[in-house]
Structure formats: structure tokens, C-alpha cells
Amino acid sequence: MSKKENIVLIFGKRTFEKDTIYFNNGKSYSLKKNPILTYFENYPYERHEIKAHNLNSSDTITIATKNQILLEHRYHYFYASNYVLKAGDTIQFDYKNDAPYARLLNNRKLDTVLNFEVNYNLANDIYVDDIEFREKHGRYRTKSEYDVYLEDLIKNRTKQLVVLDSLHSNGNFQKTNYNFQKNKLKYRINLMSDFSDIDKDKIELQNDSLLMLPLYKRFLSYYVTETLNIPIIKRKNVRIADKLILFDSIQNSNLFSKKIQHYLLYATLKDIAKYYPLADFKSYHQKFTETVKDSTLLNLINDTYLTDFISLKGKTDDVYLTNTTKERTTLTEIIQQFKGKVVYVDFWASWCAPCRAAMKPAKKLRKTYENKDFVYIFISIDKDFSQWLKASNEENLKYFKNNYLSVNYPSAQYYRELQMKSIPRYIMYDTKGNMISKDAPSPKDAEIYEFIDQYIDK
């Protein structure tokens, strides 16, 4: 059994056959290649991904925590069951037809509660994805077909709510889990109805406990945009609610509890960082720190967007960098440090699929020249430090010495001179520190080895 500082997750072996969609062209899309296990812990309940290596073998994962968590387990492509767990719990998942059937080893009385969703979903399986519909019929649904399908989905979830209420009234459903499942279904139905009963939910804008529920967060996003009459604008070719106006409106609103208000400001500031110029982020970050005194939110913003480095973000004179432990340096310093060696700079980002695809050949390239006068430098242009850190870990770069995040992309003159508008991009310097290629071959290209050999002293 788990200690009181841990939650233990035991996963039986499975195949993922039921979690894969197959297409007529022979291609497929499988959940085994995507995060299917996530959990939420502590305000503001950010999503944490975990990976169980249980393809045809069992696996055990321990989450170190003294708190309650919400575990989400995806399966059969469309479904996700949730489990409210507390420190000291040990939950075991066994798989029949790739569906997760759970047992709480320290409280077997909750078996009915834990498997409520999976039992209902598989007994009332009506989901047909748009892609599956197109594969079967050679076209997408018409609007009328989609409206009928959506009505069926709403009826299905409404029926599930009736079943839940019946189990609870008969004493077969523990209260905490009942309240969670009821709220999840309520907001699922509301989401499919575009929150048509939005006015009925105003009292819940003061209920902090609902923030654990991802669907409640989606409701909040819809609610503030609609209720506060936020105009829709286009930023980076995406139509979004104007986040500057939204931030100010939330800040001046008395609709929400303090905790919910501060969460909304936090979420909106993250969107400002993503879609707006640095000057706007600086201005609204200042507003955020003046309003929100919650150290958890302040630290999350700082850790994600490196606000300690905010004075460097607009600098143009050099490429300012940080490593995984937030030590500062510049590209100029690095090139000077490695004079006498060929320096190959790989510009990438966590969200760049071609960049990530080149990581395996990059490893081969580094291995080939590891005992020669050659240095491989990774520089990410991610805006989100945490996403870069996560990707670095996934690519086994977290502890690689020459792995950096650019603090002032795209402000630096260096980026403008190189016209760096897309990645991956590879730059190479000779042993004297001179740039010899503004667009060097990729690690994937066969000519990269011959290209490097020209400049390495034999």
C-alpha cells in the first residue's frame, strides 16, 4: 500500500488496439503516441502528463504528494474517466479490451464509484468522430446531421446523469465522487449546448473547489467572454477574445471569488504572453503583480515566462540565453568560449515537429564528432520555459551542457539579420569564431558530415 506521502498507480498490460483509429489509406492514429494520463494537483490545477509503459507489460508510477489529485485516463480514443485520489491511495488498472477497470486497493468499497464512467461509456458507446464519419461516408457531416448527432450526445450524457443520481440516492455512490461526477456531467452537457443555461451558474462563480474540474475552466472562459462582452479580434491569424480588455474586465469585476478571479487573471496573462507583443506582457504583468498576491500564481508566471529576465527580453545587442538552471549567458560568450572548435547551432522549439524529428539524427551527429574539435549548441525560441524544459527532458537534453533557451527572441538584431522567421534553422561557425553558414545543412541531410569536415582540423 502507498505511504501517506504518495499515490501509487499500477497499470496492467494492454494493447492499445481499441485506442487506435485506422484510415483507408493505411495510416492510423493511436493514443499510445499521445498523452493519455494526466493529473491535476493544487490550485491553479495545471495539467501534469505522465506516461505508463504498459504496452504488453505492467508498469507502476508513484506520484509524490500529500494532497488530493484528479487523475484523468483516456481510452477508446474518445473517452476519459476521472478518479479523485488522495495521498495514501493505491489504484490498480486492469484492461479488458483496452478499457481501464480500476480497483482502489486500500478501499475496495469504491469499485462501483471508480468504474462508473467506463461501465456507462462502453455500454452506451455512440461517439463517431468526424474523421471516422468521413472515412465511412467519404464526406463530412452536413449541418443537419451534426445537429442530430449533437442532440444524441446531449441525450446520452443527460441519461448518464440520471443513472448517477439513481446510484447516489440508493446509497451506492460516495458523496465526494458523486459531487465531482455530477459537476463534470453538468458542464459536459453545458459545453455541448454552448452553455445555454449560463445564467443559472452565477452562484458557482464563487465555488473555488470547481477549479479542479477542467470543464469548469472551459465554462469560465466562455462565461467571461460572453458575459463581459469582450470583442473578438485577430492575433497571429487566430480569432480570440481581446485579452487586454478581458484582463481589465476581470480585474474590475465582482462576479468571482478572489481565487477564481485570480485564476482567470493568471490564465489571461498567459494568453497575453502567447499572442501579444512584449510591451503588452510587461504592462499586464505589472497589473497582475499589483492585484494578485498568491505566491503560487506569481511563481508559476515567473517560472514559465522568466519574468526575472524581463529586462533582457527586449534587448537587441546580443542573443541572451539561459540554461535549465536559469544561469545567464549570451551567444557571443559561447562562440568566444569555443574558439578553436567548429560550432554548430541548432535553433528549435518544443512545438516544432520538424525540429523534434531532427533530434535523433542530431544525436548521431554529436556522437560522430564527440572526440573532435566540434561543439553542438541547442537554442530554443520557446516563450514558455516550462514547455522547453519538458521537451528538453523528452529529448534527453535536460542535462546536456549546451542546451539553452533564448530569452530575447525575436527582439535581438541577430535574428533580424538572419531573417529567422522559421525553424529548424542551423548556423555554423568556424574555429576562429566566424559565421560560415547562415543556413547550414540539417543533421538529417547526408551532406552535413562532408560540410563539417571541411572546417575541422585534421
* pLDDT (mean) for 350-370: 95
H-only helix segments in 341-447: 353-357, 359-368, 385-394, 413-418
* pLDDT (mean) for 339-364: 96
Cell 506582457 belongs to residue: 281
Listed in sequence order, the residues at least 6 apart from 118 whose beta carbon sits closer than 8 Å to its beta carbon are 75, 79, 81, 99, 100, 101, 102
* pLDDT (mean) for 329-356: 96
Amino acid type, 162: V
Band (451; pLDDT cuts 50, 70, 90): very high
Residue 290 has pLDDT above 90, yes or no: yes
Amino acid 32: pLDDT: 74
* pLDDT (mean) for 182-200: 80
Locate 167 and state its grid cell: 446510484
Residue 11 has pLDDT above 70, yes or no: yes
Closest by Cα among 383, 427, 134, 166 to 270: 383
Predicted confidence (pLDDT) per residue in 299-341, tens digit: 999 999 999 898 899 899 999 999 999 999 999 999 999 999 9
* pLDDT (mean) for 344-352: 96
For 6-89, strand residue ranges (E) read 6-11, 20-22, 28-30, 37-41, 47-50, 59-64, 69-75, 79-85
Band (200; pLDDT cuts 50, 70, 90): low
Amino acid 201: pLDDT: 61
Locate 449 and state its grid cell: 558530415
Instruction: With H, G, I as helix, E, B as strand and everything else as coil, classify residue 425.
Output: strand
Helices 214-227, 258-275: crossing angle, 10 deg rounding: 80
Amino acid 236: pLDDT: 84
Q: Which residues pair with 375 in a beta bridge?
A: 343
Q: What whole-number percentage of the chain has pLDDT above 90?
A: 75
Q: Which of 38-52, 136-150, 184-198, 350-364 has the lowest mean pLDDT?
A: 184-198
* pLDDT (mean) for 421-425: 93
Residue 220 has pLDDT above 70, yes or no: yes
Amino acid type, 329: T
Burial status of residue 447 (CB atoms within 10 A of its CB: 0-12, 13-18, 19 or more): exposed
Amino acid 356: pLDDT: 95
Q: What is the DSSP letter of 2?
A: -
Spatial contact of 452 and 344, defined as CB atoms under 8 Å apart: yes
pTM for this model (two decimals): 0.85
Q: Which of 203-212, 320-329, 442-451 has the lowest mean pLDDT?
A: 203-212
Average pLDDT of the chain? Answer: 92
Predicted confidence (pLDDT) per residue in 108-139, tens digit: 888 889 999 999 999 999 988 888 888 888 89
* Alpha-carbon Rg for the chain in angstroms: 25
Band (199; pLDDT cuts 50, 70, 90): low
* Sheet with 99-104: strands ordered across: 59-64, 6-11, 90-96, 99-104
Residue 1 has pLDDT above 60, yes or no: no
Q: Which helix (H) or strand (E) holds 240?
A: strand 238-241
Residue 241 has pLDDT above 70, yes or no: yes
Predicted confidence (pLDDT) per residue in 135-181, tens digit: 888 899 999 999 999 999 999 999 999 999 999 999 889 898 999 99
